[in-house]
Amino acid sequence: MDPLIGPLVLILVALLGARVSFSADRVPPGPRLLLKTGTHFLVIGFALGPAGLGLVTEDATAQLSPFLALGLGWVGFHFGLQLDRTTLRRFPRSHHLFAMGQAAIAFAVFYAGGRIVLDLLDLTTDTSRLLLLGAASTASVSTPAGIAMVSSNFLVKGKVRDLLFFVGSLDAWIGIVALQVTYSLYRPEEISAGLPLTPQLALIGLATGLGLVCGIVFVWLVRVRPPGEELVLFLLGMCAFAAGAALQWGVSPLFVSVTMGAVVANLGRSTQRILAVLQRWEKMIYVTFLLLAGALLQVPTWWVFPLALGYAALRFVAKSAGGAAMATLVTFDHHVPRRVGLGLIPQGGISLTMAVSGVLMYSDLVVRGLDAGATLFTIIVIGVMISELSGPFLTVQLLRRAGEITPRVEQALAEGDADKARRETFRRDTPTG
């Protein structure tokens, strides 16, 4: 088979996919969130890849890895632009404490639960700890997409909804930092050579410095307000360079690109214009990234399915525990239910990009004849699918209990009367007396 066929097919599917919406109004909430996340493109990539039809070979996937790096840089840069101190200061301190605290607790609970299982099975090794830390990093992440979809469906307004949306937009930072710490402690060359692991937390400084330099260079490049086409080239070039340099030096491309985005958000003067360009190109780059990532998927053993179910179950416990703990510890000016963690189950695309980063970083890591990075990636992908399918229903139940989804609004929506539902929402929000 001509080696060009696979990449051409991928490009064609990416072009078509970029013109198709990730969501469908008539699809049930769980599957609709999967479509919005773009997980179906992972499945298509898997079907086209070496483990599927073989249209995209392993060699072709390796040659296209720079596009994966670009996708990592693009996603990280986009997230980093949200870390604008002026915008973040508009939210109360309690929201920031809750967002960071519940993610940190979820990470700790997931890791502790995983260590107990490894110890019981006598599987605790340097490699297993590495894989568990990577899984815990992805498990601490939430996404605002789930709460946004539920809010849109049920015309939700309320303080619990606002808290969930803020947390889902911010708490990925904990997982991204945890992943960088993991990369610093567990160097690929040390693990593959069987050398004793040495803490190299100084690499966090290297990653931070690289992100700062890339951010400052980008701010300098766009200081004269370049035309749209030139701005796109700057974005593509800096995202690819930052992520590629991070992978070359063995640090997290997501951490570096998020740092770069935060620098631009706080020092630059064209943030809104940059965000507009990012959103305009987001679909094309994200779809291509997901298709290539899907080609990395493997099902080397049937154990990936029960392990993925265990990943999803342990993450459910971890996020629930994190939400309950912080709802008790943090003082709010309104009631926050202890079950608030149920609204943070959906994971979104950040978890997937973190898993892809791990595959690229530890590409040569083999455990019992299996590609450890690719196997963990498959487990996380299936786990994300489970969370996306179940998350919206759990969010709905939470907001019903909080009184932010009312029976009258639900009844009006069930009757297909959107105007009546909006009137009921307005009546609920209008003070009486």
The answer to whether 304 touches 367, Cβ cutoff 8 Å, is: no
- DSSP sequence for 61-116: HHHTHHHHHHHHHHHHHHHHTT--HHHHTTS-HHHHHHHHHHHHHHHHHHHHHHHH
Whether 413 has a pLDDT exceeding 70, the answer reads: no
Evaluated on CA atoms 109, 243, 35, 153, the torsion sign reads positive
**Please, what's the largest Cα pairwise distance for the chain?**
76
Tell me the pTM.
Answer: 0.88
Residue 212: pLDDT band (50, 70, 90) is: very high
Please give the Cα distance from 130 to 133 (Å, whole number). Answer: 5
Does residue 2 have a pLDDT over 60?
no
The DSSP output letter for 196 is P
- How high does pLDDT run on average in the chain? 84
Alpha carbon distance 432, 430 (integer Å): 6
The tokens for 52 are 């599927």
Which tokens is 329 given?
Answer: 């510890």
Which has the minimum average pLDDT: 203-212, 267-276, 340-349?
267-276
User: Could you tell me which residue, 368 or 251, shows the higher pLDDT?
Assistant: 251
Least confidently predicted of 45-54, 163-172, 273-282, 328-337 = 45-54
Q: What is the pLDDT of residues 377-411, one digit of tens each?
A: 899 999 988 988 888 889 988 998 888 887 777 77
Q: Are 69 and 244 in contact (CB under 8 A)?
A: yes
Check whether 344 has a pLDDT greater than 90.
yes
Buried residues in 331-348 as b, exposed as e (16+ CB within 10 A): eeeeebbebbbbbbbbbb
More confident residue, 83 or 363: 83
The contacts of residue 36 (CB under 8 Å, 6+ apart) are 22, 23, 145, 149
Beta bridge mates, 366: 371
- Segments of 255-405 assigned E as strands: 366-367, 370-371
Give the total residue count for the chain.
Answer: 433
Provide the CA 247 distance to its chain's centre, in angstroms. 19
Assigned token pair, 86 = 């002026």
Given a cut of 70, whether residue 190 has pLDDT beyond it is no
Residue 23 has pLDDT above 50, yes or no: no
Higher pLDDT, 13 or 157: 157
DSSP annotation string for 264-302: HHHH-S-HHHHHHHHHHHHHHHHHHHHHHHHHT----ST
**Residue 320 and residue 342 in contact, taking contact as beta carbons nearer than 8 Å:** yes
Type of residue at 167? V
Pairwise CA distance, residues 96 & 417, whole Å: 38
Better pLDDT: 18 or 63:
63
- Closest to 335 in 3D by CA, of 102, 130, 131, 94: 94
Give which of 271, 260, 261 is closest to 225, Cα–Cα. Answer: 271
- Residue 345's SS3 state is coil
Say if residue 52's pLDDT is above 60: yes
Residue 183 CA neighbour count, 13 Å, CB half = 31
- Residue 90, pLDDT > 50, answer yes
**Has residue 423 got a pLDDT over 80?**
no
Mean pLDDT across 314-326: 96
Whole-number pLDDT of residue 426: 64
* Residue 195, pLDDT above cutoff 70: no
Which has more pLDDT, 61 or 314? 314
pLDDT band at 268 (very low <50, low <70, confident <90, very high): confident
How confident is the model at residue 432, as a pLDDT? 45
Residue 424 has pLDDT above 80, yes or no: no
Residue-by-residue DSSP string for 111-133: HHHHHHHHHHTT---HHHHHHHH
Reduce the DSSP state of residue 28 to 3 states and report it. coil
Given a contact cutoff of 8 angstroms between Cβ atoms, the answer to whether 420 and 66 are in contact is no
For 215-263, the pLDDT digits (tens) are 999 999 888 888 878 888 999 999 999 999 998 888 999 999 999 999 9
Which residue has better confidence, 115 or 43?
A: 115
